[in-house]
Amino acid sequence: MEKVLLGMSGGVDSSVSAILLKEQGYEVIGITLELFGEDSKTKEAITEAKKLCDYLKIPHITLNLKKEFKCKVIDNFIEAYSNQRTPNPCIECNKYMKFGAMYEKAQELGCNYIATGHYAKIEYSNEYKKHVLKKAKNISKDQSYVLYSIQKQLLDKLIFPLGNLESKEDVRKIAREHNLEVANKPDSEDICFIPDGNYKKFLEENSNIKPKQGNIIKRDGEILGKHNGLYNYTIGQRKGLGISYKSPLFVIGFNKEKNEVIVGKENELYRKEMKVGDVNLLLMDKLEKPLDVTVKIRYSSKPAEAIINQTEEGIIQVIFKEPQRGITPGQSAVFYINDVVVGGGKILVS
């Protein structure tokens, strides 16, 4: 019987994943990662996961990764906002914690695979002659976007049990059939280390980032008002600027040296090209020639047609068929061919 180490958060997705893996004949070990603090939410997750594992008669362990999480995820989050980039901490967590440290623990325990409750698929592709990461069958819940940073060497070691389920209701139905208390537990939408969702307060309390007043300007230098710290603003923001003008204005950029927020009309938010760094390619080692793909520039965006080309080491140029709105440095761009993930990286300046 092959062993699999399953990441468990105490929620319905990872709980149902445990059931499906057992039904498929795997020897399952549940693991809950301790990532930050001593808050009640962390303790609750550990308690719920252990309770579920006891119910399913599978072993449960915890792994303390607080030091690593702070270094790789929280510090990266703070550094990004310090430089007017908008990070996605889930991607860093997946790269270093769930598919980094957790995989190392799996090897230590003699596990053949690791698994999580993510909505995505790993399949062997005859076309590419390798295991590939694909979008989930349930496109509305698909999480392949936040998984592009996985090392490609791990793809044949991963299992996503929920990848072929039609809907979230199917997951809850399985949970109810097995009398799981978490069957109707709501999904968590927050950044896990900022449970109240107030990232500005988190930055002020956990870093050197503090309110610092500066000018809100147009591209031509016209001063329209004052801001209270660059970290309070994001590309595309319209509300809460505290300025009045004859037409709607949006945040289109920043000047860190002069501590300025730059605003402009909506058409100034659109870009046809961008550069992507910190690239991780899953289908190949490097792009030998331009490639037609679709690109997601944020988790919730629709894929847009584009051509990608490797212009220099670790940098990919993206040219969109149609200009895209609100391209945001620090967010990830993920490339697809149909439902297969080619790879992705961090958006630099457009």
For 265-312, the pLDDT digits (tens) are 999 999 999 999 999 999 999 899 999 999 999 998 999 999 999 988
The whole-model pTM stands at: 0.94
Rounded Cα distance, 129 and 155, in Å: 13
Which residue is associated with the tokens 């990441």?
Answer: 7
Query: What's the rounded mean pLDDT across residues 312-331?
Result: 94
Q: What is the pLDDT of residues 17-45, one digit of tens each?
A: 999 999 999 999 999 999 987 666 778 88
Q: Which residues are catalytic?
A: 93, 192
Residues 6 or more apart in contact with residue 49 via CB below 8 angstroms: 8, 9, 10, 14, 30, 32, 60
Closest of 270, 279, 271, 265 to residue 316, by C-alpha: 279
Residue 350 above 60 pLDDT? no
Give the single-character DSSP code of 73: I
H-run or E-run covering 202: helix 199-206
pLDDT of 323: 97
pLDDT of 182: 85
Q: What is the pLDDT of residues 173-230, one digit of tens each?
A: 999 999 988 888 887 777 888 888 899 999 999 999 999 999 999 999 999 999 999 9
Residues 6 or more apart in contact with residue 250 via CB below 8 angstroms: 236, 237, 238, 263, 264, 265, 266, 268, 269
Parallel/antiparallel/unpaired status of strands 60-64 and 27-34: parallel
Closest of 202, 325, 328, 210 to residue 259, by C-alpha: 210
Outline where DSSP puts E strands in the chain.
3-7, 27-34, 60-64, 113-115, 120-125, 130-135, 158-159, 214-218, 223-227, 250-255, 260-264, 270-281, 291-296, 304-312, 315-325, 332-337, 340-347
The mean predicted confidence, pLDDT, of the chain is 93
Is residue 186 classed exposed, middle or buried when 0-12, 13-18 and 19+ CB atoms within 10 A define those classes? exposed
pLDDT of 230: 95
In order of start, what are the domains of the chain with their CATH numbers?
Answer: 3-184 (3.40.50.620), 214-264 (2.30.30.280), 270-347 (2.40.30.10)
In angstroms, the Cα distances linking 236 to 252, 291, 318 are 6, 29, 20
Rounded Cα distance, 121 and 139, in Å: 11
Residue 319 above 80 pLDDT? yes
Residues 6 or more apart in contact with residue 76 via CB below 8 angstroms: 87, 89, 92
Count of alpha carbons within 13 angstroms of residue 285, beta-carbon side: 0
Q: What is the pLDDT of residues 250-264, one digit of tens each?
A: 999 999 999 999 999
H-run or E-run covering 166: none
3-state secondary structure of 275: strand
Closest of 7, 6, 15, 309 to residue 187, by C-alpha: 15
Give the single-character DSSP code of 147: G
pLDDT of 183: 82
